[in-house]
C-alpha cells in the first residue's frame, strides 16, 4: 500500500466491514459454483515450497476471490509472465485473510500482511505473483479486480499479455501512486479453460518504514464477469467515500476558517494573528487536499505526495501553529520565537526527507533510520514544548480567555501529534454512523470552532476599542479646532493669511496670533510637534497653552520660547520646532527660532543660525534675529510638510519647487494645494504676513481639516 494512503488513513481510518458485507450480498444473489479445492494456510507463517496446482472455479453469474495459494518469487524477469513458465520451484503465498487479522494503522479488517513479515524482511523492489485458474461456464467478458491495498505499483498479465498496470513503469524507474480500487478487463478470447495470471509488483524502499508489514498484495484479487467486477469497484469507492467523509467535513471547516481569518486580517491588519491563522489553515488544507485527491485519482505521484504532505506541509503546519499562538498571546519577543521555530521546522523537514523516498534506501542507508528517528522525535516534541511554553506565557498575561485558549491549544497539539499518540497506544480511530472519524479530524474541527469564537470575541472588542479611540480623536480634533485662531487683534498695516491642512484627523502643526504688550503689535507663533495623530494633537494643546500663558507676562519671543522649553523638558519625550515673531505697527520684527524652517522674505529664504527644537535641552540657545518689514514686503513661514511632500515614485516636492512658487508670489492656499496634489506625507501649514499701509489688518483663517 502506498505511503499516502497509509498516511491519510491514519488520520481518517478505513473500515472494510461494509465492503465485505456488500460482497456477501452480491455473492448471495449471484451464486458461485466452485469446482476444485481452495487451500488455505496461516497468512503470517513463512511461505514454503509446494507442488504445482490449478485452482478450478465455475463462473455461473458471479465472481470469485483468488486467494490461491499463489506462487511467489522475488526479483524481476518478464519471462515470468509467460503461460508456459515453470514456477514449480517458487514459494507459495496464501492470500486468505487470517482470522482476526487487521491493519492496526488503517483499521482494516481482513487485512493480509505483506511479504516483509512472511519470510522476506527488509526486501524492497520487484516481486512476482503467479496463479493458474481453470474457468468453467463463462459466457460473457471477464475482468480482474485488484485489491485496494497494495505496495506500491503493479502490472497485471493474463496468459502472457499485459492487461493493465497501476503506476508508471519505465525502463529505469517506477512511479507509484496511492492505492486505488481498480479492475482490468481480460482479453475477449479468455472464457473457459486454464488462465495464467501473473502480477509484477514493485515496492519503494521507504514503504517498510511507514508500515511494518508492507510488501505486495494485502488482499486477494477477484475474478468475475466485468459487470460484477465493476459493481465491486464502485463499492470500494463508496467505502473510501465513507472513510473520507469526515475528511471532507474537516476541509470545509478549514476553508471557512481560512476565509474568515483572511477577512478579519483585511479589516484589521494590525492584528497579525489573523494572518498566521490563515497560513496554518492553508497548510492543513493543502495536506488534506493531497490526501483526498490521492485516494480518488492517480493525479499526484507517490513520491511527490510524500514530499508535499509529509516533508513540507506537516512540519510547516506545526511551526505555523506555534507562531499563530505567539501572535495571539502577543508575545513580546516574536523575533526570537521566529528564530527558534524555523530552524526546528527546517531540521524536521530535512530529517523527514531523509526517511522518505527518493532519499531513503537509495542515498540514505536503511539502518540510519534507527539514528534519525529519535532525533526527529526530539525535534517534533521540541516544537510541541515550545507551543506549550508560548501558551503558558499567554495564559499568565491573558487570564480572561485562558481556559478557552488552553482547550484550543490542547486540541491543536492532539491534531498535529497523531503518530506520537499511537506510540502511546491511544486510540485514534472512532466509528460514527457508518463513517470512520480520526481523533485528528475531531481535534482540528473542535479547535477551529473554539478559535473562531475567540477570533470573533477579539474582533468585537477591538472594534469597540476603535470606536472609543474614534470618539477621543474627535474630541481632540474639536479641542484643536478651538486652538486655531479665528479672530486676531487689529494691527494697522498688516495682512495675514494662513492655510492649514493636517495629514490626519488630529494634526501636529500649529499657529497662534496673539496680542503683544504694546498697542498695534502682535505675536505670531508657528510650530510643528514631533509625531502625528492623537499624541501630537495633545502635545499641540500643551504647547499652545504654555505659549498663551507665557505671553501674558512677556512679549519677548525668546523669553516665551525659553519658558515653554523649560516646561516641555519636564515632560520627557516631548519636543517641537517653534518660531515666534513680534511684529510692531512700524514694521519692526523680532524673531526667535527653535529648530523651525527659516521664514521666506519676499520669496527668498532668510539666513538664520540653527537651533535645537524646544523640549530637548533645557536652556538651549535660540536663533534670534530682527529686521523691518517695508511696504508690500511678504514674510512667509511654513512647516516641513510642504518640502517633504512625496509622490508615488518617492520624489520629494523639495525646496526648488517651493522656491519657484514663492518667487512667483503664490498664495498660501496655492502652495498648500500644489504640495497636497504632489503627495502629502505630513501636516501642511503656511502663514503669510504682508505689510500693507493702506489696509487695516485683515485675517483670513480657513482651516481645512483632513478626513480619515
pLDDT, greater one: 342 or 401: 342
The radius of gyration of the chain's CA atoms, rounded to the nearest angstrom, is 41
DSSP letter at 639 equals -
pLDDT on residue 462 = 82
Highest mean pLDDT among 166-170, 499-503, 693-697 belongs to: 166-170
Q: What is the pTM of this model?
A: 0.59
Residues 670-685: tens digit of each pLDDT: 999 999 999 988 888 9
Mean pLDDT, to the nearest integer, of 629-640?
A: 90
pLDDT on residue 57 = 61
Mean pLDDT, to the nearest integer, of 582-609?
A: 91
Q: How far apart are CA 476 and CA 485, in angstroms?
A: 16
Residues 91-146: tens digit of each pLDDT: 999 998 877 665 444 444 568 889 999 999 889 999 999 999 998 878 889 999 99
Whether the CB-CB separation of 524 and 507 falls below 8 Å is answered with no
Q: CA angle 190-191-192, nearest 5°?
A: 120
SS (H, E, C) 170-221: CCCCEECCCCCCEEEECCCCCCCEEEEEEEEEEECCCHHHHCCCCCEECCCC
pLDDT band, residue 42 (cuts 50/70/90): very low
72-to-65, 309, 435, 675 alpha-carbon distances in Å: 18, 33, 36, 86
Q: Residues in the chain, how many?
A: 708
Residues 260-292: tens digit of each pLDDT: 999 989 988 888 999 999 999 999 999 988 888
| 3-230, CATH topology level | Jelly Rolls (2.60.120)
DSSP letter at 682 equals S
Give the residue extent of every domain in the chain. Answer: 3-230, 237-462, 485-703
Whether the CB-CB separation of 127 and 74 falls below 8 Å is answered with yes
pLDDT on residue 301 = 81
Mean pLDDT, to the nearest integer, of 599-611?
A: 90
Q: How far apart are CA 124 and CA 329, in angstroms?
A: 49
Architecture of domain 485-703: 4-Layer Sandwich (3.60)
- Residue 489, pLDDT above cutoff 80: no
Residues 515-541: tens digit of each pLDDT: 887 777 889 999 998 877 677 777 888
Amino acid at each position: 500500500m502506498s505511503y499516502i494512503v497509509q498516511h491519510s488513513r491514519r488520520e481518517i481510518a478505513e473500515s472494510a466491514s461494509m465492503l465485505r458485507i456488500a460482497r456477501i450480498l452480491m455473492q448471495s444473489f449471484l451464486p458461485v459454483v466452485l469446482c476444485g479445492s481452495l487451500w488455505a494456510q496461516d497468512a503470517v507463517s513463512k511461505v514454503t515450497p509446494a507442488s504445482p496446482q490449478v485452482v478450478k472455479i465455475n463462473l455461473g453469474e458471479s465472481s470469485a476471490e483468488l486467494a490461491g495459494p499463489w506462487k511467489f518469487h522475488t526479483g524481476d524477469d518478464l519471462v515470468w509472465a509467460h503461460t508456459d513458465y515453470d514456477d514449480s520451484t517458487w514459494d507459495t503465498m496464501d492470500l486468505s485473510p487470517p482470522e482476526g487479522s487487521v491493519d492496526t494503522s488503517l483499521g482494516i479488517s481482513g487485512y493480509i500482511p505483506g511479504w516483509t513479515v512472511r519470510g522476506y524482511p527488509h526486501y524492497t523492489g520487484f516481486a512476482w505473483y503467479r496463479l493458474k485458474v481453470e474457468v468453467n461456464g463463462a459466457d460473457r467478458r471477464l475482468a480482474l479486480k485488484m485489491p485496494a491495498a497494495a505496495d506500491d505499483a503493479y502490472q497485471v498479465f493474463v496468459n502472457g499479455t499485459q492487461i493493465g498496470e497501476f503506476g508508471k513503469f519505465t525502463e529505469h524507474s517506477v512511479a507509484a501512486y496511492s492505492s486505488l480500487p481498480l479492475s482490468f478487463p481480460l482479453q475477449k478470447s479468455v472464457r473457459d479453460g486454464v488462465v495464467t495470471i501473473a502480477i509484477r509488483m514493485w515496492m519503494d524502499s521507504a514503504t517498510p518504514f511507514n508500515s511494518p508489514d508492507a510488501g505486495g498484495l494485502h488482499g486477494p484479487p477477484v475474478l468475475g464477469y466485468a459487470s460484477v467486477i465493476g459493481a465491486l469497484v464502485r463499492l470500494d469507492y463508496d467505502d473510501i467515500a465513507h472513510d473520507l467523509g469526515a475528511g471532507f467535513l474537516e476541509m470545509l471547516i478549514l476553508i471557512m476558517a481560512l476565509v474568515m481569518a483572511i477577512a478579519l486580517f483585511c479589516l484589521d491588519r494590525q492584528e497579525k494573528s489573523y494572518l498566521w491563522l490563515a497560513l496554518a489553515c492553508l497548510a492543513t488544507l493543502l495536506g488534506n487536499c493531497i490526501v483526498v485527491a490521492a485516494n480518488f485519482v492517480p493525479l499526484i505521484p507517490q513520491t511527490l505526495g510524500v514530499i508535499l504532505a509529509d516533508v513540507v506541509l506537516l512540519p510547516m503546519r506545526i511551526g505555523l501553529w506555534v507562531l499563530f499562538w505567539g501572535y495571539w498571546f502577543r508575545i513580546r519577543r516574536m523575533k526570537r520565537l521566529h528564530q527558534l521555530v524555523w530552524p526546528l521546522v527546517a531540521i524536521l523537514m530535512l530529517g523527514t526527507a531523509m526517511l522518505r523516498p527518493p532519499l531513503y534506501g537509495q542515498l540514505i542507508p536503511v539502518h540510519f533510520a534507527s539514528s534519525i528517528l529519535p532525533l526527529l522525535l526530539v525535534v517534533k516534541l521540541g516544537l510541541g514544548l515550545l507551543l506549550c511554553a508560548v501558551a503558558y506565557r499567554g495564559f499568565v498575561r491573558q487570564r480572561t480567555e485562558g481556559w478557552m485558549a488552553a482547550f484550543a491549544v490542547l486540541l491543536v497539539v492532539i491534531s498535529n501529534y497523531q503518530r506520537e499518540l499511537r506510540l502511546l497506544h491511544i486510540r485514534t480511530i472512532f466509528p460514527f454512523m457508518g463513517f470512520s472519524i480520526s481523533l485528528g479530524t475531531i481535534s482540528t474541527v473542535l479547535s477551529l470552532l473554539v478559535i473562531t469564537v475567540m477570533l470573533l470575541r477579539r474582533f468585537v472588542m477591538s472594534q469597540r476599542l476603535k470606536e472609543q479611540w474614534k470618539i477621543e480623536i474627535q474630541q481632540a480634533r474639536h479641542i484643536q479646532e478651538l486652538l486655531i485662531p479665528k479672530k486676531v487683534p487689529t494691527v494697522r498695516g498688516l495682512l495675514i493669511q494662513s492655510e492649514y491642512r493636517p495629514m490626519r484627523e488630529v494634526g501636529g502643526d500649529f499657529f497662534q496670533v496673539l496680542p503683544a504688550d504694546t498697542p498695534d503689535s502682535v505675536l505670531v507663533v508657528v510650530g510643528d510637534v514631533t509625531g502625528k495623530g492623537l499624541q501630537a494633537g495633545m502635545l499641540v494643546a500643551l504647547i499652545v497653552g504654555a505659549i498663551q500663558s507665557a505671553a501674558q507676562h512677556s512679549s519677548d519671543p525668546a523669553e516665551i520660547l525659553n519658558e515653554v522649553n523649560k516646561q516641555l523638558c519636564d515632560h520627557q519625550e516631548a519636543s517641537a520646532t517653534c518660531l515666534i515673531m513680534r511684529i510692531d505697527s512700524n514694521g519692526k520684527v523680532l524673531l526667535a527660532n527653535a529648530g523651525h524652517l527659516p521664514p521666506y522674505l519676499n520669496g527668498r529664504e532668510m539666513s538664520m543660525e540653527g537651533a535645537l527644537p524646544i523640549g530637548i535641552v533645557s536652556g538651549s540657545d535660540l536663533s534670534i534675529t530682527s529686521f523691518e518689514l517695508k511696504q508690500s514686503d511678504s514674510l512667509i513661514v511654513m512647516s516641513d510638510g510642504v518640502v517633504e511632500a512625496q509622490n508615488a515614485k518617492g520624489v520629494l516636492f523639495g525646496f526648488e519647487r517651493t522656491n519657484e512658487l514663492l518667487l512667483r508670489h503664490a498664495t498660501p492656499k496655492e502652495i498648500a494645494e500644489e504640495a497636497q496634489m504632489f503627495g502629502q506625507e505630513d501636516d501642511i501649514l503656511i502663514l503669510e504676513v504682508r505689510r500693507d499701509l493702506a489696509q487695516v489688518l485683515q485675517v483670513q483663517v480657513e482651516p481645512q481639516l483632513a478626513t480619515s
